[in-house]
Structure formats: structure tokens, C-alpha cells
Structure 1
């Protein structure tokens, strides 16, 4: 096959399809003329690629655009019902599963509460079972919907998890120290269950990274080249997006040391940011100071109670204990954000996660003030700090983006079916010699 600078004609065709799909997805509907300019392709190439994508059912016409003194131009767009995507958020209190079409419109959802939250050690089998049950449920709900016909194939399942995610040749391992997971082969567990179709791609990533991906594609990060997206939930984490790492890199920001010999963090170390600033630590400090969350309340309900105590909406007097704990948390978060600002000099810092969004704009103002006070003047003067825009479903949306991004990278084609590859000749020869030695020894 002919090659162009090391790439085959097939590679070039796939890249053109990928570029056209992405431009139509983010900026469409568009005319072929506008699409050629946006994609950097000739009019002939655009016409050929669009015709090919329309024949595959990936692109459809979307009306016309009038032109002064000329023929109206036909608009085209990505067909939203061409495929479906599943996003899974493995949080520290629950597993949320959502099914989307290509436009990221929600088709079905389900949630399952995780038991034993106080123990911080989650049974891997239980979590895997919740994921598999949730995926089956949303797909079943979609099949039962009379409008489900023609929605296209399942393009993949994306999963956002707490902890460090390691991609190996044998599958994905999750190192979730704060939840008692040590090199958990989550991908293999899900595959080996036999409950996921073998041909459906499966992606596992850190939850902060999926949150960052969602905000960069669809939320407050759009248009920024350098950003930090913070996940503030039971614990804290961050995703750093730079020119060098366009897809984002999860960083264990919550385990940055903010006080030597400080509070014991749930990771086992002392003085981590997460020991002061995560929702779990915030509520623990409130209890230690004399606060009384409602009996039996989960973290979200307890945080609501703390906020109501610190900022009563009926004009009553704030609880000084709750107000002080909240103010101290804002200062710790601000100092932690200042470290990220100094290290990465982002254009934007976005704060997401259920706890960050629940604490809201008033809390963010205090965090912003402390961040700017602790950061160096030059990067602090260039950064914008805001709440994420996608709400509590952002991790799930970001998880669904994982198979969507892979779909675009393949130019909208189906993933190849793996088949056993022949072993290199050197391996067969070496294996023969070793076998001979064992037989003779």
C-alpha cells in the first residue's frame, strides 16, 4: 500500500474521516464549504469523505442555508442516533450508570449505593456487580423504549474510578489506596464475567480525568488550552490539561502534603490536603469540633446540614463552629489550588464534584481569595477560577467520552476484532532450545 511520510493511504483516509467527524460534532451543522475550511481539507476531499460517512449512516443532512444570490447550501451533521455510549461513575458512595446517544442526550440511568462507606474498603466483586447490573439495566430500559429502534450499536463502556489507573498489556489495574484497592484487575473482572459483549470496547480511567475531559469538551473548559479541573467529592483530585497532554492527566493532588505531621489521611500518610479538604474530612472535623450532623445521614445530607448551620437561610445566627470549619476548608483548598496554579500556570481552574458544586458560589469566592493570596502574582493574574458547568453527572459524561473519543479516532469505523497473532520467529526458536535443554537435563 502506498505510503505518505510513513503513513498509508488507509491512515490518511481514517484521519480525514476523524477530522470531519469531530468538526461536525463540535461545530455542526455545517455546509461542505465551511467544513472544508474548518477541517483543512480540499473541497473534493470533503465531498468524498462526507459521501462516505453518509453511506455509513454516520452523517445526515440537516436542512439548508440560504446564500445571497446563489444556491442554498446543504448542511450536514453527525447522526445522533448512529450509536450509543455508556458512562459509569464509580464514586465513593454510589455507582452511577448512564446511557447516551452520540449527542450526549441521556437515554437511561440508574444508581446503586455502595455499602460500608465508613470502612473505606469496598468489595471489588460488589462494585463490579453494580457496574454490570447497571449496564444491563440501562441497556434493557433502552430496548424497552419504543423509540429505541435505529439508535445504533453500543460503541463502548467508559468507567471513571477513584485511584491511580495503570494500563498494562493484560488489561487495566486500579490502585485505589483510599478505598482498599491494590492493583485490582477491574477490566479483567468485568470481561471474565461474560456479561459484557466481547466486541464492545471497555475503557477505565481515573474519575478526575473523566471529569476534566467532560468539562474540556462540553463545559467550562471549552476553548482553553491549559486548564486544571478539580474533583471535590468525598476526597479531592485533579486533572491537568496542557498543550503537551491534551487529553488530560490525572494527578493525586489530594495527597499533596499541606501540614507536616498533620492529620492522618485515609491513605495512611499525615498532613495530606485530603485530610483537611475532602467532604469526608470536612465533616469529620465538624464532628470533632462539636458539630452534630443528622443521625444516619450520608455524606451529601450531612454536608447540606453543615451548610445550613453555617449559612442559615432564614436570617438566623450562623453556627460559629460550622462557619469556622467551612472557612478553614476554603483556606486549605485555596492553598492547594495555589500550588496547582504555580506548578501548571493554567488559564482556568474549574471546581467540580458533588461536594464542590454543593458548596457553591459563595464558598468558591472564599477559595478564590485564598488561592490568589497564596499563588505567585504572575500566574495568579492570568487564571480564572470557576465552578464546573456540567453538574453532578460530569464524571459519567466524561466516562462516556472515552469510547466516543476512540470512535472518532477510528474515523467512525468499528473496532477491529482481536485475533491471535503469530509469535515472532526468535521466540519460537528460543522456546525450542529451552525445551530441548529441559528434556536433556
Structure 2
């Protein structure tokens, strides 16, 4: 690890102050110092920088019975607007946020999961963003940046979608394509990093600094934070848990390997499991993935025996795969997110909790929790908005590098 410089430490201190304001709400300088562990003098200097750039504002001036009045500070939501975008194989979900990361407007576009051209996907992203901007009544000149999560392997430092297996994309310069269409600065990243950041800022990260955020949907993966730092890996590929081995010589995975976790816990994996249980089940006639998952949830609520067996098998696979993650990382907190998790969590989580002791080493069991996320709205879009806020602060010279890639570059404004 490179040695930290005084500039690095100053940037991390800025992040701590900003994070504290998201967590605490309007706060005094003394409250921020107590929460972050920074000195009052350091907090006062950093607050002055934020105030000078309009990122913070004085919310109230309060008077005590003795002494000078004191100021309560908060993030100025009207400093500008940020768009967070979740791009998956079946949809694009866009949300406009204020600088305090409060949602203002939403837009969603369905994608044909059998269509994979770059032009088609870019057009869907642009339409979703335009819909969200219109819904939020936002002027384009107030948008500070757009954060776009892309499935598969992404290099944020280069703005490139390195490999999206479901689309057969290789080295697509997605950031440039979007900036040409939007005329707005764009930052791209991977959804696993986005869900981890949203959990760090707005979910269980408020009570623990080490966690795994498991995303279940078309694909499967894990966002990982250790001791308050987002784990990226050398090429931003940390968290590809869906392409670790669950069954030797098992099912074919879309990545080309046999027996991956995703081949059992992704939507296609669930379809294969149900086909093994009841090959003529009506849920298998659903043409789209979301329709299939909704049919499974409805059938479970109605007590369908085939779908009850599907839930049992899926929980068994999930417990075994999570056991490997916990044993490898000794992480105390597992959070489930993603649209499959949202639909099926009430049947999966209790069974996973019951079975996890069979897969986790005894020393890692005390205090281990498995929960569905309570991050509001779309966690991927929220995480991408938080990344984009960090990028904006960097452009102001107020970088907060606790989660952005080491090979960081500032967002460039399109010509």
C-alpha cells in the first residue's frame, strides 16, 4: 500500500465530515468533531471550505442561555442536481437527486433482454435519464453529473465497459457514448460497487464498517466493504462472487465456466432449478425474467408445492455460497439487495439463517447477521449518485476518495 500523504488524510477527513452530515443531519461543528473523531479546528477548516463552495449551508443559528450563538450546518440540497442510473440486462432505472441525495424524480425504461446492441442500450439509458429529469422538473444546466452503473466488468478510470457477458460487449467506451448523447459529464462504475457504497452511507454501514452486500438478479455478485473501505481489487473486479465455484462440473454459466454460483442463484439458475422440479410448471412459460420472479413470489404466497421446493433449494445454494464468503472474509454482516431479493427475501432469508451454521466456521458465527437491505429506493442508483457527488467534490478541489478508484480522474465536461 502506498504511504498516505497529508493531502490524502485531508481528503479522507473531508469525506468523514460529509458522511457525518448524511448520517446526523444538521449538526454543529462540535457535533461533527465528536462524531468523526477529528479535532474541532480541523472540522472548522473543512467546513469553511465546504461553505465557500456552496456545498454546505448554515441551517439555523441557535442561542444558548450563556455564551455565543452557534451554527447548525447541513448539506445544501440546491447546490445542484445529480442523476444516478442503474442499467441492468432487463431495464434502465434513473433517479434525479439533489446534492443531499434526496430523490426528486424517477424514470424507468424496459430493455429487451434479447437485444444487446450498443446503440439500443445507450438509447434506453438516455430515455430513462430524460424521463427522470422531466419528472423532477430539473433544468439541464443544474445537473452536476450523471453516474451510470453498467453490468459486468467496468473500468471507471477509463470509462470503459470491459466485458458484459449477457450482451457480449468487449471494451465498449460507454462513457464517451453517453457524454456525446447527453452533453453532461458522466461517471461509470459497476453495480456491486454502487450497492456497497449506498449500504455504507445509508444502510448497515451506519452501524458496522465491514459488510457484504449480495445482489441477486439476472446476475449475481457481492459488494464488499472492509473496515470502512470499499474493496475494488486491482482491476475493479472484486466481488464477482457469482463466478466463484458452487458445484464442481455443475451447470453451464453464461461466463463459460461450469458450476458458478450465478448458474444456481441468478434468474436463469432459478428457472433451471424449477425445470428440474416440475418441467411443465406455468411459471416457466413467462417470457421475461421479472415475470418469472413475480410468478414465483405469487406462487410461494399461495403455497405452491413446486415453488416451495424451489425456494428450499435456492436457500440451500445461497447458504452454501454465503458460507464461503463469510469464511473467506470473516465479514459479520450480510445484506441482500436486488430485485430478486426484494421479491423472495421473506422465503429465502429465514431458511438461509437456519442453514448457515452448517457452512460457516464456528469462529465466524457469533454476531453474524443476514438481512434484506433497508436502503431506500434503488440502491444502485443511489450509490451511483454518491459516486458522482464525490467526483463533483473532486472537481471543486474537495476530493473525498474513500470509495472512488485509486486510478482516479476528474470528470471532464463535454465540449
Indicate which of 212, 233, 248 corresponds to 2:231.
248
Residues 30 and 357 of structure 1: is their aligned pair in 2 closer, same or farther, counting only changes over 3 Å? same
Matching residue of 1:298: 288
Cα deviation, residue 256, structure 1: 1.4
Matched, 1:176 2:151: no
Matched, 1:101 2:98: yes
Matched, 1:276 2:260: no
- Residue deviations 1:189-211 (CA, integer Å, cap 9, x gap): 223x34323xx2x2211112211
Matching residue of 2:360: 375
Indicate which of 51, 65, 80 corresponds to 1:54.
51
Indicate which of 245, 249, 257 corresponds to 1:257.
245
CA contact (8 A) 2:53 2:396 kept: no
Matched, 1:122 2:138: no
CA contact (8 A) 1:17 1:412 kept: no
CA distance in 1, matches of 2:54, 2:111: 40
Cα deviation, residue 38, structure 1: 4.3
Residues 17 and 273 of structure 1: is their aligned pair in 2 closer, same or farther, counting only changes over 3 Å? closer
Matching residue of 1:439: none
Matched, 1:135 2:124: no
DSSP-derived class of the 1:157 partner: strand
What are the equivalent positions in structure 2 for 1:206-225 lying under 5 Å apart? 206-225=190-209
Matching residue of 1:63: 60
Matched, 1:157 2:154: no
What are the equivalent positions in structure 2 for 1:287-436 lying under 5 Å apart? 287-288=275-276, 289-290=278-279, 291-293=281-283, 295-296=285-286, 298-312=288-302, 318-390=303-375, 393-409=378-394
Cα deviation, residue 292, structure 1: 1.1
Cα deviation, residue 46, structure 1: 4.5
Residues 153 and 412 of structure 1: is their aligned pair in 2 closer, same or farther, counting only changes over 3 Å? farther
Cα deviation, residue 45, structure 1: 5.4
Matching residue of 1:236: 220
CA distance in 2, matches of 1:254, 1:401: 25
Number of residue pairs matched? 394
CA distance in 1, matches of 2:256, 2:9: 50
Cα deviation, residue 377, structure 1: 1.0
CA distance in 2, matches of 1:221, 1:22: 11
CA distance in 2, matches of 1:247, 1:354: 22
Matched, 1:166 2:155: yes
Matching residue of 1:436: none
Cα deviation, residue 59, structure 1: 1.9
DSSP-derived class of the 1:127 partner: helix
Residues 262 and 411 of structure 1: is their aligned pair in 2 closer, same or farther, counting only changes over 3 Å? same
- CA RMSD after TM alignment: 3.0
Matching residue of 1:431: none
Matching residue of 2:211: 227
Residues 241 and 103 of structure 1: is their aligned pair in 2 closer, same or farther, counting only changes over 3 Å? same
Indicate which of 274, 279, 282 corresponds to 1:286.
274
Residues 45 and 136 of structure 1: is their aligned pair in 2 closer, same or farther, counting only changes over 3 Å? same
CA distance in 2, matches of 1:231, 1:363: 14
Indicate which of 108, 113, 122 corresponds to 2:110.
113
CA contact (8 A) 1:163 1:175 kept: yes
CA contact (8 A) 2:192 2:215 kept: yes
For structure 1, the residue ranges without an aligned partner over 5 or more in a row are: 313-317, 420-441
CA distance in 1, matches of 2:260, 2:5: 48
CA distance in 1, matches of 2:272, 2:108: 26
Cα deviation, residue 283, structure 1: 2.4
Matching residue of 2:403: none
Normalising to structure 2: TM-score of the pair? 0.84
CA contact (8 A) 2:336 2:371 kept: yes
Indicate which of 58, 80, 84 corresponds to 1:83.
80
Normalising to structure 1: TM-score of the pair? 0.80
CA contact (8 A) 1:87 1:158 kept: yes
Residues 110 and 73 of structure 1: is their aligned pair in 2 closer, same or farther, counting only changes over 3 Å? same
Cα deviation, residue 50, structure 1: 3.6
CA contact (8 A) 1:87 1:157 kept: yes
DSSP-derived class of the 2:189 partner: strand
Residues 271 and 14 of structure 1: is their aligned pair in 2 closer, same or farther, counting only changes over 3 Å? closer
